[in-house]
A and B are shown apart, each in its own frame.
Chain A
């Protein structure tokens, strides 16, 4: 769609160009590097190790993909790098936690072996729904209070970006302060929701190994994360490519002025975009919480940055690109650990980001951004 109108210097459409030779050389280089790494003993030696890292990578990648959608959709519509999206995700982890513990009363002491059967499905569905709602509403409020006044005042790109950083800083540190103590010299105690220390998720789902691949046990939680993520991604894909609102989003992303001339309500589309992006981030937040078992005020930072990397990797503004980018980044990041050690893991994602931006700034599937 939008991509076909953009051209490279040689006049070929960006996404239409298939640089087979470049890819072949790239893959060959990666292959040689891997072969050398394994042969020289720098990398993981056993197949099971590689499989284990791949499954972890796919699980994390599914979560990154879900967060990346929010970044990529907002970027497509507003050209705003919404830094505060990682805080939308963080709020999802807390909302999910409280839905599970307070609404459904699932606590570690009450259900030491986790819950099962229909109740488990109900708990998880309810938590995903409420986490998504909380995050979606946060995103919409954020848009209304911070970004819309800017849009009306006609701020510069830099102004948008600084505002987004401000919102992110505000939200994460607000949750730092919600620890049941007094702050800022105010005479009341702030509600005890989050605070500095991480809050533990109850073991909703007792960890079991479902089956094995090459001797690597696959946990039920991994299956849950991947299954839920895939379903949500499919629904979103349907929403963006098959419904009228989705068409509106794509139209605004392609050319806001023409879209508004065609009767698309841009403000409404922007709100929908923020809400849907927040919904996905909230779902991802719950999955992240269930998978890693904790919620914290700054939990969004690293997944947020990585999800943005994933969005860029797939092509910013491109919904399917974000999904692909998320999965790929999760894989790359975890497989990279096999060769250079776990302590360098955060560096891998950033290195990937820099490399992608240097050699293929439009991402794997091409960017789709409106002007």
Chain B
């Protein structure tokens, strides 16, 4: 097994890469793998794209600060104009594609959140959709829509009367629900994380998978609280004052854009903060991080909780837009935002960055919509893509520099006596 690669060399190479991002790409390149010719062909074919991205990145980094802000503002403005552009170019089809852009927005939010857990902290979470569900269900419970739909289901006169009484308060507090859902998801992240984060990577994956299924089973079994398998319907749309978002697509798009931009800002700051450095340390070598005084459990909990709260925002927007949720919306496989698909978005796009997960989300939502023939084959192709990407380009389409160096580095973590000690204790 190819372990015990020269760690010192690797970190040197990484340091060099941080300093001169455009010149040292190949320094950490791994030895030619078993795929040989295919890898070479692939590298050659995609070189111009990679160069273009890297050029843009370095050029952006060199700009003076006011210009950088101007560029960022221009990009955000361009994204904000997308609904108008779609209307102008697509005519009657615009509504359909706007719906797709909303989906992309939710997917991008989820991918960004999972990226905190997988990309920043290096923890594989296979039950991420659970936090999405927590957000959606907290919205359903807090707005009392859950109670409403359970009552309507019984179809007695009193139930209907009571339901009518619940309904009027809905629109008033939409913004509060956002932050309430955030708080609940934070709590859920900590609750699910606390018992599991001591586990090593692959155990964590399977336990989070288990938790994802437990949450879904629970929602399925709580008939009188959240409607069981029938789900909650008639959820309220968001509203600003008297302006009801209703069934339009545009307001949700701008709402999502605002949330995403805010989160990107927060996540970039976080990633460069003490917490971000702690995450990188844990991801690269947990033992060394712990020895250096990083409180690994606490930092992992932070990653979990922050990832969860990002997902909860997605859940609230999703629930308020679709106005119907059921346990089937939150599966490991299947559905629009299954845990595995979100993982695929992060991995294909590139872990550890900001642009990567967003591009991954956009691609994995857009491509199946554009090529409807894919249909049921979607998941098969995603599976294939995961395998191929991991063999040919483990760092994804748009990798973060630091993460790419790690994933290519040829390091296989070994179970040491220390790790055994940690588990035995």
Contacts and interface: CB of A to CB of B under 8 A. Distances in A.
Contact of A371 (B195, B380, B391, B414): B414
Contacts of B218: 347
B123 to A, nearest CB: 9
A7 interface: yes
Interface string B357-380: 000000000000000011111111
Contacts of B382: 166, 169
Contact of B417 (A7, A81, A155, A369): A7
A81 B424 contact: no
A42 to B, nearest CB: 16
A146 B389 CA distance: 11
B221 A308 contact: no
B407 A183 contact: no
Contact of A184 (B199, B374, B424): B374
Nearest to B379: A173
B377 A173 contact: yes
A154 B30 contact: yes
Contacts of A183: 373, 375-377
**Interface majority SS (helix, strand, loop, mixed), chain A:** helix
Nearest to A190: B377
B424 A344 contact: no
B415 A362 contact: no
Contact of B221 (A146, A343, A351): A343
Contact of A152 (B2, B378, B423): B2
B325 to A, nearest CB: 20
Interface stretch (B176-184, B209-217, B263-271): B209-217
B219 to A, nearest CB: 12
Contacts of A1: none
A245 B420 CA distance: 27
A152 B201 contact: no
A317 B124 CA distance: 21
Given A14-B420, A157-B202, A79 B379 contact: no
Nearest to A266: B1
Nearest to A346: B217
Contacts of A196: 376
Interface stretch (A46-54, A59-67, A274-282, A352-360): A352-360
Interface in A281-326: 298, 305, 308-309, 312
B421 interface: yes
B234 interface: no
Nearest to A361: B423
B412 interface: yes
Interface string B186-216: 0000000001101101110111011101100
Nearest to B346: A162
A14 B424 contact: yes
A247 to B, nearest CB: 19
B59 interface: no
Contacts of B207: 350, 353-354, 357
**Interface majority SS (helix, strand, loop, mixed), chain B:** helix
Contact of B379 (A169, A185, A346): A169
A256 B3 CA distance: 11
Nearest to A78: B1
B205 A156 contact: no
Interface string A177-209: 100000111000000000010000000000000
Contacts of A349: 210
A343 B214 CA distance: 11
A163 B386 contact: yes
B253 to A, nearest CB: 30
A339 to B, nearest CB: 15
A158 interface: yes
A137 interface: no
Contacts of A158: 118, 122, 124, 201, 407
A166 B348 CA distance: 12
A350 B383 contact: no
B205 A159 contact: no
Contact of B210 (A149, A168, A185, A354): A354
A166 B1 contact: no
A224 interface: no
A357 B332 CA distance: 22
Most B-side CB within 10 Å, residue of A150, A162, A266, A351: A162
A7 B122 contact: no
Nearest to B119: A158
Contact of A305 (B206, B376, B383, B385): B206
B384 interface: yes
Nearest to B221: A343
Contacts of A369: 415
Contacts of A156: 394, 406-407, 409, 411-413
Nearest to A75: B202
Nearest to A260: B1
Contacts of B2: 151-152, 154
Interface string B209-235: 111011001101100000000000000
Contact of B394 (A155, A176, A370): A155
B343 interface: yes
Nearest to B2: A154
Interface string B382-425: 11111100110010000000000011011111111100110111
A166 B390 contact: yes
A149 B373 contact: no
A350 B412 CA distance: 28
B425 A8 contact: yes
A255 B232 CA distance: 54
Contacts of A171: 383
A154 B29 CA distance: 11
B67 interface: no
Interface of A: 6-9, 14, 79, 81, 146, 148-159, 161-163, 165-174, 176-177, 183-185, 196, 256-257, 266, 298, 305, 308-309, 312, 343-344, 346-347, 349-351, 353-354, 357-358, 361-362, 369-371
Given A152-B33, A184-B374, 8 more contacts: A81-B206, A148-B34, A172-B379, A173-B377, A266-B1, A298-B333, A353-B207, A361-B424
9 contacts: A7-B420, A151-B2, A161-B201, A161-B205, A162-B390, A166-B390, A170-B380, A173-B383, A350-B211
| 7 closest Cβ pairs, A-B complex | A166-B386, A154-B410, A169-B383, A170-B383, A350-B210, A8-B424, A153-B33
